[in-house]
Structure 1
Amino acid sequence: MKDKNIMPVAIEDKMRNSYLNYSLSVIIDRALPDVRDGLKPVHRRILYATKKLGLLPNKPHKKSARIVGEVLGKYHPHGDSAVYNAMVRMAQDFSQRYQLIDGHGNFGSIDGDSAAAMRYTEARLATISEELLQDIEEETVDFTDNFDGSLQEPTVLPSRVPNLLINGSSGIAVGMSTNIPPHNLVEVIDGLIKLLADNDITIEELMNTIPGPDFPTGGVIVGNDGIKSAYKTGKGKITLRGKSEIEDRGRGRERIVITEIPYQLSKSKLIEEIADTVKKGKIDNISDVRDESDRDGLRIVIDLKKKANPTIILNRLYKYTSLQSNMRINMLALVKQQPKVMNIKKILESFLDFRREVITRRTRYKLNTAKDKEHLLIGLKKATDQLDKVIQIIRSSKSPKDARKNLQRKLEVTKKQSEAILNIRLQKLVSLEIQKLEDDLKEIRATIKHLESILNSSEILNNIVRDELIEIKENYGDKRKTKILADDSKAEIEKEDLIKDKEVVISLSYRNYIKRADSLENVRSGKNDFITHISKGRSLDQILFFTNTGQSYSITAHELPEHHGLSNGDPLTQFLKLPMNEKIVAMIVLTEQVKDNYITIATKDGQVKKTKGEEYESTISSIKAINLNDGDEVVGVKVTTGNNQILLGTKEGYTIHFKEDEINDTGRNTKGSKGINLNNNDKVISFNIVKDDKIVVSLTKEGRGKASPIDDYTLQKRNGKGLQTMSNDKYKLLDILTAHENDKIALVSDSGEIFEKEVNDITSTKRLGSMYTQVKLTDDELIEIHRLPRLSSTTKDND
């Protein structure tokens, strides 16, 4: 029998609702800060619980475990390690610009050392945290039930401090993340005061007061374009660099001393990176690296060899290590329980609105309290004015309850006033105390008048907001720690200090000889060899080598020796160590133009993927270029503009010709989209970008082939079966190339013999025409075919 209490629910509906609820929980209750107090729920609960325990700045520290237990038991039903880690971060002077917890004991280090267990450390509120909690008992903020409904907790703290900006925040929610850098308190408050005085102030004018983030670890922000973008749109990217100086150690030797490092970078990790770059030969002329940090501050010493140029080495450190790194800014916070990306002005406005609300609620609470007191004083005044009558009423009453009722009736006072009269002590009835009563009444009426004026005047309210901000600035303000280099050109490493920046031509041959030359005229190959890849760029550009396994390897152009004239170049193995199972499919110089365009990859199984070129820029020598399925391989890599046409060819003789814009661009570590729908046992053998090519050359391993007009290969939609390129299915194609009439191709046999052939000399037929012998072979078969690069002054980058 069917149970009436069981309701059938579609699993997709249940999953959708459950995931939405989970997402909202993460966004609102865990990962994102509130724009008003700049705190996530866990940090808010830590501060509130610490205050309720009485651990104020003037009281002794207590065990961290005591605080964590209080937070877990009353407000935050999650893991103890999560609460303790959050509290530890609030106590670290290298994590927080203004510490909210005063820690006692081992709370971790800038070396990346973790804090001691919470049973060993002690904590209490930092002085500035009192400003976040001040007036919380005066109905300034809303309270809500805790997780089990047994207690109340604040939904926000009545912070007098613009904590979201001065301490920043970072967190990852579901489908969104926030990364707000810390700022200098003096600058932020000065900005708030300017905004308070002129609501129409521009962000550019605000930046005269708040020039940029201010990190607890100091360092240098290079360039202010990223800051401008973040402050105007809520999103941006800044370049952060460590601070260093050059010291003379005598006898022609110098040292580089790093005294400040980028925010959230581990000192020990940076030292490891420096040592690793020296070991790999990316930086030379360094004799020793050591850590001389002590209680006086951070000090990483890099001893240089005799006559080494410290400026060049320092700039290479910026290039190859985290001594210079990028930081993305995403100023996202909760506004009325909704996540919003805000510019700097909106964040400041939200805080000022909150302060007005807090002060208004505080004033209303004090006004109600003052009116209650005035009410009682009026009753007491009535009693002292008719003292004999009061005594007679009390003496004639049978009980306190009867006395209260008689006082209410005969003196015309309220219940509260009558209770106050009954509770008055005899010593209050002397003449001096009666005069004080009148003075108190006069004083409380003046207070009421003042409080009402605050509620009735926005100008007075704004003055209070300003005065409190000035008080915070005077009590907690300090000097800026992070220097800002306003010239954006300095965000780039001083390339002329590293190596002369000039145009170069990079060539790679079939036998894997690589050469850097200053012009196309100096590009040549050795005997029984030919050039397969040629690209123009600059000496500081990265050279990317894509392999059949989906990896991308890189070296910098200036790392290659420059060759002139008859030189064939150097074996690539001197600069790049490839695993035995990997073969180079393409070489691309990562120029600025390539970064702005796409790098498009095709695979044996027919997948096609395009990714912005800039995503292949990396300080790591090997990165994944595409996510391949088992058994799949990369067959081609090209630079595309987004508006090109693609031609894929298969072993069975199928081709598909489609527009590049049918493929959505994706990140590096993705599979891409299906380019062609393959038959069983078929595979993609060629990947061509059709620019101004007029001919499609089809060749078999037996040396048979033909040249057909590109017009015969009609444009189709991707992921189709495609068109056949030959009528006789007894042949298996080795390659399909697009070309110009005057292009040349090189054919390589399995015995290593190389044949060069002009496209003009290949038999011309229609797409389905017969295949003719193009090169006479004995017992050999062709194993590779290459269209030779066009060696002319019009050669484009990565042609």
Structure 2
Amino acid sequence: MPEAEKYLDLPLEEVIGDRFGRYSKYIIQERALPDAKDGLKPVQRRILYAMVKDNNTADKPFRKAAKTVGNVIGNYHPHGDSSVYEALVRMSQPWKIRHGLVQMQGNNGSIDGDPPAAMRYTEARISALAQEMLRDIGKETVEFIPNFDDTDEEPVVLPAYFPNLLVNGSTGISAGYATDIPPHNLGEVIDAAIHMLDQPDCTLEDLLTFIKGPDFPGGGTVQGTENLKQAYETGKGKVIVRGTANIETLRGGKEQIVITEIPYEVVKANLVKRMDEIRFDKKIDGIAEVRDDTDRTGLQIVVELKKEADAQSILHYLYKHTDLQVTYHLNMVAIADKAPQLMGLKPLLSAYIAHQKEVVINRSRYELDQATKRQHIVEGLMKAISVLDELIALIRQSNDKADAKQNITEAFGFTEVQAEAIVNLQLYRLTNTDIVTLEKEAEELAKTIERLNEILGSPKKLVQTIKKELKQMKKKYADDRRTVIEEKVEELKVDMQVMIPAEEVFVTVTRGGYVKRTSARSYSASIDERPGMKDTDDLLFFAEMNTTDTLLLFTSQGRYVYIPVHQLPDIRWKDDGQHVGNLATLAADDGIVRAIPVRSFDQDRYLMFFTKKGMAKRSVLSDYQAQRFSKALIALKIKEGDTLLDVALTEGSSEIFFATKQGYGLRFSESEISVVGQRAAGVKGIALKEKDEVVSAFPFPAENAESLFSVSHRGAVKKMKWDQFPSSSRAKRGLTMLRELKTNPHKLVAVNPVAINETLMIKTGDESIHPISTAGVRHYDRYQTGSYVIDTDTSGAVRAVWPYIDHERSTE
């Protein structure tokens, strides 16, 4: 019988955790993060090693990229060909890598994000600089390990005779770790490394006198040296990177913005598209055309401006709202001592210098061993030439090679190695003049052995050797800095009033919180139609406004949304608006109670706030001019259990009227409410009875309003004269405006100031809406009930009242 199968009964979380842990360790160490020593990820290292081993070097003709990819996959990297080819291509792209490690012939992509041609069409070879990464790899400079199928060996790291990690940077994402190391200038990094070799205890400030900051392949400007210093100290930080743009004046006085450099890793086509969208959507006025004039002579994006346009403000707007300026986050994580570490500038340089010392020591040991062996052989050859005739006679008498070696060893005292060299010597070498060459070689070997022993025996000599080689690298490969470093981050000042296209539009806000602006053309074409909204919704606000105006939306929870009119969604009159929650963050249970248009915040005007619990607050309008619009801001401090009822704009000389649910009305001067700050709670406006609440509050005399109009929950309506409520003081109970009934007493739902021919919309419990013309309602005394206009027995009690907004006429 076959042996019974064995099963392990393990909890799933243990199995998953163990497997994911192994996978994470692999992709951290063996895939996504670079090594601090040579700055390469495994796939990059394998590509370069395979190219050198295949003799695909910078001084040889190009070879098909597919051949390199095949070699890498077959011998060292058992993964998909696309991952290998993408890594190969990236190492050749001059806009992605500061000093190319691979040279490619054919389409290797573009800064516009175009993909490269397939690997069967492109050709590649290793660059001369990358060959310096692998120089002396055959001299036992680095450790080798078996490849994935044990048929070959591959290096753990490369010798790397220049600090590649800092020079070319790196980016990658693994499990739990990510890295973003910017590229730097080769000459500056080598200078810093040489300084650190001389003074290992130097400070970060010392190193920063050599390394000014990142040096991106596409140039640009880095702003914020203080942030940069922090990032170099901790390994983590952020700086501002902006493209290079100049304002040029053309004939006729027109100006244009010419962009010649863009930030690192920004896709140019997307940047141009975004700029053109700003022009097309009329986010700002003044851009006539956005054109990409890039050709083989260099990158160039031209933003043509209209006459009289404010070029500086438009440029600042582009910096602020496009990828012409980005925040680059430094997160310098690399593999050091077989583990990922967040490393500052000094630890990264220290890791490279330690690696170089190890490489040079290993190379020196290897070369010393080879020189010593050769010296021994040369000594044997020199001795052989001195007894040449006897030696030849002895060899001719021997039976074979082994016999000859034994005979000459016994006769002249040669070692096994020397005897082997002598019997393998070619006849033409047996000339009298050859002794001079051997003596010269022996002399050179003695000097070499002395030099190598000095390197191995003296740390000072070791440092001198590394410095000398670094200086040669700098002389041969360093170029000028491309990125400008600026100490301070420039504050972007954008004069939106200058750049917003001034246009008259129709703005609507619905009670459900949907907002939009509509062009005069769309409004005119649909003037007799109801604006687009849900059947259960109605207009809260409708007005003709200018795109340079501002709309303030106040919510029941005491917050407000600041929306410049030009930022309202431009939607046709017939279509539904966009919910205000898409423009600014609002709580789910919050809703709009009032929309207030503002043309200017400079005028001496006030905002009056009224809450259901009878609080009143007055603040200066200019306090509510905001700089950020992404979320709702605090309009006033609301006590628990209270909500904002209404907001009004006043000139400071009005009177205030409060009306409560139980039928009390109070009138007092606005001046009794002191002016307070934006976040204050206000003062008591009316003294409420227990279980009473405010249903309406407003300043008066209101524009065109001739009377007060009240509606009770039982459908009773009436008009009252203003003079029935003489002016009193705030925080009083007020005068009654309802007849007291013992059974089912009336409760006010709303009190509104109305004109003669105004229409009110009355909503009842069955969700039906009843329009009521105020012209047909007569005046009553404040203690009378009024007329019943709605049968609440069939339709349910009155729940809400609001003025009908006539969208067929402008409210100028």
Shorter chain as normaliser: what TM range?
Answer: 0.5 to 0.7
How far, CA to CA, are the matches of 2:400 and 2:305 in structure 1?
96
Indicate how the Cα distance of structure 1 residues 261 and 739 shifts in structure 2: closer, same or farther if over 3 A, else same: closer
The structural deviation recorded for 1:582 is 7.0
Relative to structure 2, which stretch is displaced further, 156-165 or 440-449? 440-449
1:327 aligned counterpart, secondary structure: strand
Indicate how the Cα distance of structure 1 residues 265 and 746 shifts in structure 2: closer, same or farther if over 3 A, else same: farther
Superposition pairs for residues 501-520 of structure 1, below 5 Å? none
Conserved 8 A contact 1:748-1:782 = no
Superposition pairs for residues 319-398 of structure 1, below 5 Å? 319-398=320-399
**Alignment-mate amino acid for residue 271 of structure 1:** V
Partner of 1:34: 35
The structural deviation recorded for 1:41 is 0.9
Indicate how the Cα distance of structure 1 residues 692 and 493 shifts in structure 2: closer, same or farther if over 3 A, else same: closer
Superposition pairs for residues 246-645 of structure 1, below 5 Å? 246-488=247-489, 490=490, 492-495=491-494, 584=580, 634-635=588-589
**Alignment-mate amino acid for residue 453 of structure 1:** E
How far, CA to CA, are the matches of 1:553 and 1:263 in structure 2?
39
**Alignment-mate amino acid for residue 129 of structure 2:** I
Q: Deviations over 1:143-178 (max 9, x none)?
A: 111111111111111111211111111000001100
Partner of 1:742: 684
How far, CA to CA, are the matches of 2:551 and 2:215 in structure 1?
33
Indicate how the Cα distance of structure 1 residues 376 and 275 shifts in structure 2: closer, same or farther if over 3 A, else same: same
How far, CA to CA, are the matches of 2:139 and 2:49 in structure 1?
15
Q: Deviations over 1:691-723 (max 9, x none)?
A: 998764699xxx999xxxxxxxxxxxxxxxxxx
How far, CA to CA, are the matches of 1:741 and 1:541 in structure 2?
28
**Alignment-mate amino acid for residue 138 of structure 1:** K
How far, CA to CA, are the matches of 2:461 and 2:247 in structure 1?
54
How far, CA to CA, are the matches of 1:27 and 1:236 in structure 2?
22
Partner of 1:153: 154
Q: Which runs of 5+ in 1 are unaligned?
A: 501-507, 515-527, 532-538, 561-571, 586-620, 627-632, 638-688, 706-737, 763-771, 786-799
Conserved 8 A contact 1:695-1:741 = no
Indicate how the Cα distance of structure 1 residues 29 and 494 shifts in structure 2: closer, same or farther if over 3 A, else same: same
The structural deviation recorded for 1:546 is 10
Conserved 8 A contact 1:694-1:741 = no
The reply on whether 1:224 has 2:225 as its aligned counterpart is yes
Indicate how the Cα distance of structure 1 residues 90 and 6 shifts in structure 2: closer, same or farther if over 3 A, else same: same
How far, CA to CA, are the matches of 1:2 and 1:313 in structure 2?
80
1:265 aligned counterpart, secondary structure: coil
2:190 aligned counterpart, secondary structure: helix
How far, CA to CA, are the matches of 1:547 and 1:146 in structure 2?
68
**Alignment-mate amino acid for residue 162 of structure 2:** V
The structural deviation recorded for 1:362 is 0.7
The structural deviation recorded for 1:463 is 1.0
2:270 aligned counterpart, secondary structure: helix
Q: Deviations over 1:748-791 (max 9, x none)?
A: 89x99799xx99979xxxxxxxxx99954575455799xxxxxx
| Paired residues, number | 606
Q: TM-score, normalised by structure 1?
A: 0.68
How far, CA to CA, are the matches of 1:174 and 1:224 in structure 2?
31
How far, CA to CA, are the matches of 2:555 and 2:164 in structure 1?
47
Indicate how the Cα distance of structure 1 residues 230 and 377 shifts in structure 2: closer, same or farther if over 3 A, else same: same
**Alignment-mate amino acid for residue 108 of structure 1:** G
How far, CA to CA, are the matches of 1:399 and 1:454 in structure 2?
44
Conserved 8 A contact 2:245-2:257 = yes
Conserved 8 A contact 1:495-1:540 = no
Indicate how the Cα distance of structure 1 residues 312 and 545 shifts in structure 2: closer, same or farther if over 3 A, else same: farther
Indicate how the Cα distance of structure 1 residues 411 and 573 shifts in structure 2: closer, same or farther if over 3 A, else same: closer
Conserved 8 A contact 2:38-2:165 = yes
2:175 aligned counterpart, secondary structure: coil
Task: Give the RMSD, CA atoms, in angstroms.
Answer: 4.4
Conserved 8 A contact 1:547-1:584 = no
How far, CA to CA, are the matches of 1:209 and 1:754 in structure 2?
81
How far, CA to CA, are the matches of 1:39 and 1:748 in structure 2?
71
The structural deviation recorded for 1:365 is 0.5
How far, CA to CA, are the matches of 1:467 and 1:513 in structure 2?
71
Partner of 1:130: 131
How far, CA to CA, are the matches of 1:148 and 1:541 in structure 2?
70
Which entry has the higher C-alpha Rg, 1 or 2? Answer: 2
**Alignment-mate amino acid for residue 445 of structure 2:** I
Conserved 8 A contact 1:100-1:126 = yes
Conserved 8 A contact 1:75-1:153 = yes
The structural deviation recorded for 1:291 is 1.3
How far, CA to CA, are the matches of 2:335 and 2:107 in structure 1?
33
Partner of 1:766: none
2:55 aligned counterpart, secondary structure: coil
The structural deviation recorded for 1:462 is 0.8
1:479 aligned counterpart, secondary structure: coil
Superposition pairs for residues 205-216 of structure 1, below 5 Å? 205-216=206-217
1:76 aligned counterpart, secondary structure: coil
The structural deviation recorded for 1:89 is 1.1
Partner of 1:98: 99
Conserved 8 A contact 2:235-2:333 = yes
How far, CA to CA, are the matches of 2:510 and 2:694 in structure 1?
12
**Alignment-mate amino acid for residue 230 of structure 2:** S
Indicate how the Cα distance of structure 1 residues 529 and 540 shifts in structure 2: closer, same or farther if over 3 A, else same: closer
Partner of 1:194: 195
Indicate how the Cα distance of structure 1 residues 171 and 773 shifts in structure 2: closer, same or farther if over 3 A, else same: farther
Conserved 8 A contact 1:35-1:334 = yes
How far, CA to CA, are the matches of 2:551 and 2:133 in structure 1?
50
Conserved 8 A contact 2:92-2:102 = yes
Partner of 2:122: 121
2:119 aligned counterpart, secondary structure: coil
User: What is the identity percentage for the equivalent residue pairs of Structure 1 and Structure 2?
Assistant: 38
Conserved 8 A contact 1:694-1:740 = no
Partner of 1:204: 205
How far, CA to CA, are the matches of 1:320 and 1:393 in structure 2?
91
How far, CA to CA, are the matches of 1:111 and 1:752 in structure 2?
66
**Alignment-mate amino acid for residue 588 of structure 2:** V
Conserved 8 A contact 1:214-1:480 = yes
Conserved 8 A contact 2:514-2:580 = no
How far, CA to CA, are the matches of 2:732 and 2:183 in structure 1?
66
**Alignment-mate amino acid for residue 494 of structure 1:** K
**Alignment-mate amino acid for residue 742 of structure 1:** K
Indicate how the Cα distance of structure 1 residues 163 and 134 shifts in structure 2: closer, same or farther if over 3 A, else same: same
**Alignment-mate amino acid for residue 589 of structure 2:** V
Q: Deviations over 1:656-704 (max 9, x none)?
A: xxxxxxxxxxxxxxxxxxxxxxxxxxxxxxxxx9x998764699xxx99
The structural deviation recorded for 1:315 is 0.8
How far, CA to CA, are the matches of 1:433 and 1:476 in structure 2?
41
How far, CA to CA, are the matches of 1:468 and 1:318 in structure 2?
43
Indicate how the Cα distance of structure 1 residues 261 and 746 shifts in structure 2: closer, same or farther if over 3 A, else same: farther
**Alignment-mate amino acid for residue 90 of structure 1:** M
Q: TM-score, normalised by structure 2?
A: 0.67
Conserved 8 A contact 2:313-2:494 = no
